[in-house]
Structure formats: structure tokens, C-alpha cells
Chain A
Amino acid sequence: MNERKALEEEAESIIKSAQQGKEEAWRELVGRYTKVIWKATESFRFPIQEREDIAQDVFTKLLLHIKEYDPSRSAFTTYLTVITKRVCIDKLRAFKKSPELALPPEILEILPRQQPEDGYTEEEKIELFNRLLDTASTAQEKLVIKMFYLEQLSYEEIADITKQNFDRIKNILHRFRLRLKKDLPEAV
């Protein structure tokens, strides 16, 4: 039995006790997993106090939903990370500082450049991008394109999440780039 498997089994036993409301198990859970939550809040650049509040919120949420968690269906670390990210994004949303999905420089280069008088603003470019995305892609292709351009996931990460062939990911993105260059002027 490898070390990771042993750790997962140990965690499963603690979670089972926590699901029964045992305080000692919760202490163990907080001791072990606060670092997972802390790591998941890093990318949002919240002030420290805000991050501490988020960590508290995540455990409060966990307290309410722990019975719904099924260890056989996902690792606890993944589940906890998802909860934390959702709380973080909600927090941003609440302040109307939605992490708007701005396009990366690479795609902005392809899109029409802003002109002083009658050109496109960045918002318009994003709208054009979306229009093209909506009309020309299947749902699966659209997901891959958004993962790459809007979420800046790598080919490897996208292939790993979507379980698609690496070459297929490259192909989808290549075809989209060609389409952007070809169709965008007419999409105005």
C-alpha cells in the first residue's frame, strides 16, 4: 500500500467520525486541512483577514454539508478546494469585483486593435470573441477554448480535466485561432 493510499484511508476514517459530529474528528480535520484551504485562497489576493474569514466560512459550510460528502466519489482535498474556490468567487462577486474573464494578450493581438475614434474597446473585443465562440463551436470545443483562453489552463491541464486526447485539444485551439483570424472582421 503506498503512502498516499494510506493517508486517504486515514482521512476517510476521520471524515466518517466528523460526519457523526465527533468533536475530536473535527479538530483533526481542521488541523490537517486548513492548509489546503489556505492554499486555495492564495490566488485571489484577498487581505489576510478576509482569507481567515473565508477559511472559517469554508469549515462552517463543511459542517453543514459534511454528511453529503461521499469519499468514494472524490478525494477530500479536491472537494475542499472546490468549496474554497466557490466561497472565494462568491466573495468577489458580492463586492461586485467579479473576476471578469479578460482575454489574455495573445488573443487580444489577434482581435482588432483599438483605434482612437472608431475602433474597438476591450469590452467590444470580448463581445466579439464570445459571439464567435457561440456561433462556431460545439459545447465541447467551446469548453476547451474557454479553458485555454479565459482560464489560462495549459494543454496538459485541459487534457487531464476533459480526458481528451492532447492532440485533439491542440487541434481545437488551432482551428479556433484560424477562425478568429478569418472570421472576425466580418463578425463586426
Chain B
Amino acid sequence: MILTRENSCLNDQQLARYLEGKISAAEREDFEKHLSACNFCLKVVAESKKSLLQAPQEAVPEGLTERIISRISASLTKEQIPGLWSKVKEGVWQLTERIEIIFDAAENAFSLVLPGNLTQVNLAPVSVRGPKKNILESFEIPLPQDKIRLGVTLYMVASDEIELSIQAVSGTNLPENLVISLCEENGRILKSETLKPDSNVCFSPRSLSYFISIEYKERVFRIPLRQK
């Protein structure tokens, strides 16, 4: 049984209200109907209930609150950026235009084909406009000689949240230490994960100013997330 999220999933406030019983009879019926079918939301409810009843076992690591405060302070002082999801809904945002990432196993190196190099396979622009659905749009980054193919998929995981997922589509020659990161415009890495053949790397971008960074053997390539 895999835990998958759906558009109809209950949001955090709804789940919190359900846990506290602060819901109407009609809401309870709706919520429980969803929970009986959705393993993801059920897991959140069950895990939350257990946690709320338990006494903490461990102390918060030294310096963690200071590190969080420092990050939050930086965000508070920045100008608020319109949410990415609102741009998605307006249909004015796209993942990228044309981009290819080529991994040559013989050379053990990546190269990036930018828009304009028509000798390579062209990729259609990825538009995320359209009706609500789980997978709004997706494309793959094909590579010659079936060396490696990376896929980028955009999921709508909740009414106000999208998720970018990057995975190896044909991972037979997937190199080790292929690091994929989500970065802020200024280059600060928000999340960084190593791509593995049987896994994907997921991010939840929140603004228009992020880019995906693909890093391998000291070479770094960026896939910008930008407006049309």
C-alpha cells in the first residue's frame, strides 16, 4: 500500500480540527469517508494522535532554534513574493523552455544543451496551465545512446501546493553522486538530495525565484523556473 496524496486530501487545518473534534456532523462524515480511503491522510492523523499523547523523549539539539530563527528572520525581511501556485493557476508560469542534459558515460561528464541548439532533440515548452489534475505536465530530458534520461514532473499535491519531482527515467547508467538541489535565486541551497536509480527527488517550490541545480563531479547545471 503506497501512500499517495490526492487533490481531495484534507489540509492541515482540517486534519487538526478532526483530531480535536471541532467539526460538524456533516464534516465528520465527509472527513471520515476520505480518511477511510486515503492512507496518506490516515497516516497523518494516526501519527499525529500518537505524538500528541506522548511525552517528548529527546531534547531539541543545541543551537537548532537559533538556526531556525536566523532563517526565518531572513525570510521576514525579504519582500513577499507572490505564491507560485497563484502563478500556476493564472497560467503564466512554465518550468523551462528547451533544455537538455546529456550524460556521456565514456567521458563521465554532463553537458547542457541550451535553447537554440537545434541539432539536439527539442523539448516542447512545459506549460502548467490547465484544469486541476494530479500531474499537470511532465517532460523528460532525453539523452543520446540511452545513457541517461532524467524526467521532471509537476504534481499538484494539494490545493495550494505543487511538487516538482525529478527521477531517472532510464537509470541503467545512472552515475553515483548525482546531486539535485533546489536553490534560491541567490544560489542558497534549500534542499539537496542524491538521485538514485529507484527513487526520485521531490521539492515543493514556493516562489518564482527558485532553480533546480544538478551537480556532478564539480560541474553544476541549473534548470531555472521562470515566468513565460
A2 close to chain B: CB less than 8 A = no
B20 lies within 8 A of A75 (CB): yes
Residues of A64-115 at the interface with B, using a CB-CB cut-off of 8 Å, are 64-65, 68-70, 73-75, 77-79, 81-86, 88-90, 92-96, 98-101
Residues of B within 8 A of A139 (CB): 32-33, 36-37
B69 lies within 8 A of A27 (CB): yes
B1 lies within 8 A of A126 (CB): yes
Given contacts A30-B72, A59-B72, A82-B15, contact A161 B49 (CB under 8 A): yes
Residues of B within 8 A of A152 (CB): 46
A85 lies within 8 A of B47 (CB): yes
Chain A contact residues, CB within 8 Å of chain B: 21, 23, 26-27, 30-31, 34-35, 38-40, 42-43, 48, 52-53, 55-56, 59-60, 63-65, 68-70, 73-75, 77-79, 81-86, 88-90, 92-96, 98-101, 126, 130, 139-140, 142-143, 146-147, 150-153, 157, 160-163
Q: Name the one of A60, A78, A90, A101 contacting B52, with C-beta atoms under 8 angstroms.
A: A78
- Minimal beta-carbon separation of A38 from chain B (angstroms): 5
Which of B20, B45, B47 has the most A CB atoms < 10 Å from its CB? B47
A143 lies within 8 A of B36 (CB): yes
- Closest A residue to B158 using CB positions: A86
Residues of B within 8 A of A93 (CB): 3, 202
A81 lies within 8 A of B43 (CB): no
Given contacts A55-B68, A161-B49, contact A42 B56 (CB under 8 A): yes
B64 lies within 8 A of A65 (CB): no
- Closest A residue to B47 using CB positions: A85
If over half of A's interface residues share one DSSP class (helix, strand or loop), that class is named, otherwise mixed; here it is: helix
Residues of B within 8 A of A150 (CB): 1, 39, 42
- Closest B residue to A70 using CB positions: B13
Residues of B within 8 A of A64 (CB): 83, 206
**Which of the 9-residue segments B89-97, B108-116, B193-201 touches chain A?**
B193-201
Given contacts A52-B67, A55-B64, A68-B13, contact A151 B46 (CB under 8 A): yes
Residues of B2-58 at the interface with A, using a CB-CB cut-off of 8 Å, are 2-3, 5, 12-13, 15-22, 28, 32-33, 35-37, 39-40, 42-54, 56-58
Q: Name the one of B53, B56, B57, B202 contacting A157, with C-beta atoms under 8 angstroms.
A: B53
Residues of A within 8 A of B47 (CB): 40, 43, 85, 88-89, 151
Report the separation of the CA atoms of residues A136 and B185 in the bound assembly, to the nearest whole angstrom: 53
Residues of B within 8 A of A140 (CB): 32, 36
Which of A35, A39, A48, A82 has the most B CB atoms < 10 Å from its CB? A82
Residues of A within 8 A of B206 (CB): 60, 64
**B-side interface size class:** 35 or more
- Minimal beta-carbon separation of A163 from chain B (angstroms): 6
Given contacts A23-B76, A26-B73, A39-B51, contact A79 B16 (CB under 8 A): yes
Report the separation of the CA atoms of residues A151 and B48 in the bound assembly, to the nearest whole angstrom: 11
Q: Name the one of A23, A82, A130 contacting B16, with C-beta atoms under 8 angstroms.
A: A82
- Minimal beta-carbon separation of B72 from chain A (angstroms): 5
A153 lies within 8 A of B50 (CB): yes
A78 lies within 8 A of B69 (CB): no
Residues of B56-75 at the interface with A, using a CB-CB cut-off of 8 Å, are 56-58, 60-61, 64-65, 67-69, 71-73, 75
Report the separation of the CA atoms of residues A161 and B35 in the bound assembly, to the nearest whole angstrom: 12
Q: Name the one of A48, A59, A95, A151 contacting B71, with C-beta atoms under 8 angstroms.
A: A59
Residues of A within 8 A of B75 (CB): 60, 63
Given contacts A82-B19, A85-B44, contact A56 B51 (CB under 8 A): no
Q: Name the one of A40, A56, A60, A147 contacting B48, with C-beta atoms under 8 angstroms.
A: A40
Q: A78-B52, A151-B46 are in contact. List 11 more A-B contacts (CB 8 A).
A: A23-B76, A40-B47, A48-B61, A56-B67, A59-B68, A75-B20, A77-B52, A83-B12, A85-B43, A94-B201, A157-B50
